[in-house]
């Protein structure tokens, strides 16, 4: 792949990620509006982590957590989870735009973008299920639930973090080589 094709590829990806971000934002706003206004029968679910390290739940009485309470908690989580998704997409768009503009990937600012994406993926993949458990516990009249674990977002974040450190090492080697010459 030649350089001009690579830059075009990066530019297209940058725009695509921005369009996906806008689409997600509009979909969330529309879903919240139709749910709050009562003009729809939308149903929301929130999945527990792919790899559950710790899970517990129960009830104080005989009812437990109802399906309606689970849907309200999931509805509450949608803007939060999608805000994280939009942030990751826009940061990814910035990385592609960086490359499309002909800037070098072995630059500390590019590494910051990649590291920011990786940390967001790792932290959100651990924190969001805990937030969902907290919200569900606050909404529920009789039950409680606690899920702790991680999923593919955490694993992708770890991989991106390693890649960012490889780029960081490449920058250091490049600086050392420039200093020697």
- pTM check: above 0.85: no
Tokens 């590291």, residue? 115
Give the residue with greater pLDDT, 62 vs 164: 164
Give the residue with greater pLDDT, 133 vs 15: 15
Residues 127/151, Cβ–Cβ less than 8 Å: no
- The whole-number pLDDT of residue 105 equals 85
Q: Where residue 1 falls among pLDDT bands split at 50, 70, 90? A: low
Q: Where residue 58 falls among pLDDT bands split at 50, 70, 90? A: low
Please tell me the distance from the alpha carbon of residue 89 to that of residue 80, in angstroms, as a whole number. 14
Pairing of strands 143-150, 51-59: antiparallel
Please tell me the distance from the alpha carbon of residue 13 to that of residue 24, in angstroms, as a whole number. 16
**What are residue 143's DSSP bridge partners?**
59
Element (H, E) at 64: none
If you average pLDDT over every residue of the chain, what do you get?
86
Residue 144 has pLDDT above 90, yes or no: no
Nearest CA to 146 among 44, 46, 48? 48
User: What is the radius of gyration, based on Cα positions, of the chain?
Assistant: 21
Residues 122/161, Cβ–Cβ less than 8 Å: yes
Q: Is 90 exposed, middle or buried (0-12, 13-18, 19+ CB in 10 A)?
A: middle
């Amino acid at each position: 792949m030649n350089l001009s094709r690579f830059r075009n590829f990066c530019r297209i990806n940058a725009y695509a990620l921005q369009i996906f971000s806008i689409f997600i934002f509009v979909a969330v706003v529309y879903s919240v509006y139709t749910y709050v206004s009562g003009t729809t029968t939308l149903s929301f679910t929130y999945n527990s982590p792919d790899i559950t390290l710790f899970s517990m739940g129960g009830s104080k009485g005989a009812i437990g957590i109802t399906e309606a309470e689970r849907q309200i908690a999931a509805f509450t989580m949608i803007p939060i989870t999608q805000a994280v998704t939009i942030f990751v997409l826009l940061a990814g768009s910035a990385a592609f735009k960086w490359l499309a503009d002909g800037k070098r990937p072995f630059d500390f600012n590019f590494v910051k973008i990649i590291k920011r994406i990786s940390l967001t993926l790792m932290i959100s993949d651990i924190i969001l299920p805990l937030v969902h458990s907290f919200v569900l516990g606050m909404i529920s009249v009789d039950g409680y639930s606690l899920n702790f674990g991680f999923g593919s977002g955490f694993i992708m974040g770890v991989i991106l973090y390693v890649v960012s450190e490889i780029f960081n090492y490449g920058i250091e080697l490049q600086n050392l080589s420039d200093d020697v010459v």
